[in-house]
Homo-oligomer: A and B are copies of this chain.
């Protein structure tokens, strides 16, 4: 691991040396036998892979619907995956618990021991505790491809274990994991850890497993994200993946409830990712936009949650994304029941089919407006970041974050300035309330200002409190609470 990370590809020798270190220090054992693992995984990938499914979907304009789900025990996880399979999930998820993600493998194993098939003490599947053999057995018992889902700064062992067990795609990258999931870690420290993972994915790809990875970027803060900024992170994650040989990237687009802006975000995600991949010479990377149902606070009533999911899916269907991550109607309540998972996948598939047929007829002027706005802003920031690194996205993003040229709202990370704030306009589209030090074109700010003026009306400008209020925008609770039946008396 060099002091000053760059986007240069790790040699296989460097990778092997790092593997020795990581396995020794974190698991106190030798690394998995990479040749055995890739050979096995390549045979497994002949049965199907996430990338192959997405490639077929993209070609035919269809959408693969993918839930997120993980529980502690093997029995529980198998039952859960079977359920999702039957409900029509196109790819099956194994979401890893957060103790494992934080490298507390022993504690995760202890909690696994206390969990049963029906009661999980963990918020995910402790994949390291279960180990490769058992997880291979689980994955090969399904016909659909499996994605390993986790997010944290250091997922090297998790990624190794997931890929060795037959997962054909993984989640996330340094932008998202560092800025959204960690408190103290700097990019200079986390990027090399992710480059290790991408190099592993790249190696599997060379050996016949077309490993995919979600470029989540700045897509999921739990608050709303201005799409241009969200996609800056997506593109940076994708460039760093490509740097290590990843050939199948799923650029993200988090859906936020304003359909025109969401459609535009999906379209721009594909455009920007390919544009910058090409700019940096990565001309053979396949991209499959992954939209995700709203990732902030959900309404807790099922009927409202159905409404929110429907709004998201309408947008994703208009944009014809090849992949949609589906939330459940119980997101606002807790880990979903089997029925909630099945119902959420059903309404999603129903709407993709129905709206999919009529997608072209629903492209509005405003979709184009939003798309141009996103492209204008994202290009300005991305060009500035790359400039700061003399064309190297790794060097550039490290410098950019220090100067506030990269900055996101509500980050738990202490190294993020946090001067950027989002706010919704009257139509619910997400704009900058404060753009901090982001190098945004004046023209784009003027356009945003025009839209924000409608919400501000004749009152004082929008404030921090408006942003706080927006956190509950998609719950619409108060407005929906029915009035009591107060009967006016008849006049005599």
Contact = CB atoms under 8 A, between A and B. Distances in A.
A337 B306 CA distance: 18
Cβ-closest 10 pairs across A and B: A310-B310, A303-B346, A307-B350, A361-B366, A303-B343, A358-B427, A260-B361, A47-B488, A303-B347, A306-B306
Interface string A296-337: 000101111011101100100000000000000000000000
A259 interface: yes
Contacts of A442: none
A168 B277 CA distance: 64
A346 B349 CA distance: 21
B486 A143 contact: yes
A474 interface: yes
Nearest to A482: B88
Interface string A37-65: 00000011011100000000000000000
Interface string A399-435: 0000000000000000000000000001111000000
Given A260-B362, A303-B342, 16 more contacts: A82-B485, A86-B482, A141-B487, A143-B485, A260-B361, A299-B350, A303-B350, A304-B350, A306-B306, A306-B347, A307-B346, A311-B314, A354-B476, A357-B428, A362-B366, A363-B365
10 contacts: A43-B490, A303-B306, A303-B343, A304-B350, A307-B310, A307-B351, A311-B314, A353-B476, A361-B429, A362-B364
A275 interface: no
B346 A480 contact: yes
A361 B362 contact: no
A100 B202 CA distance: 74
Interface in A104-154: 140-144
A302 B343 contact: yes
Nearest to A358: B427
A349 B486 contact: no
Interface of A: 43-44, 46-48, 82, 85-88, 140-144, 257-260, 299, 301-304, 306-308, 310-311, 314, 342-344, 346-347, 349-351, 353-355, 357-358, 360-366, 426-429, 474, 476, 479-480, 482, 485-488, 490-492
B260 A428 contact: no
Given A344-B303, A350-B303, A362-B259, A140 B486 contact: no
Contacts of A43: 490-492
B346 A301 contact: yes
A311 to B, nearest CB: 6
Contacts of A350: 299, 303-304, 307-308, 476, 480
A257 B346 CA distance: 17
Contacts of A354: 257, 307-308, 311, 428, 474, 476
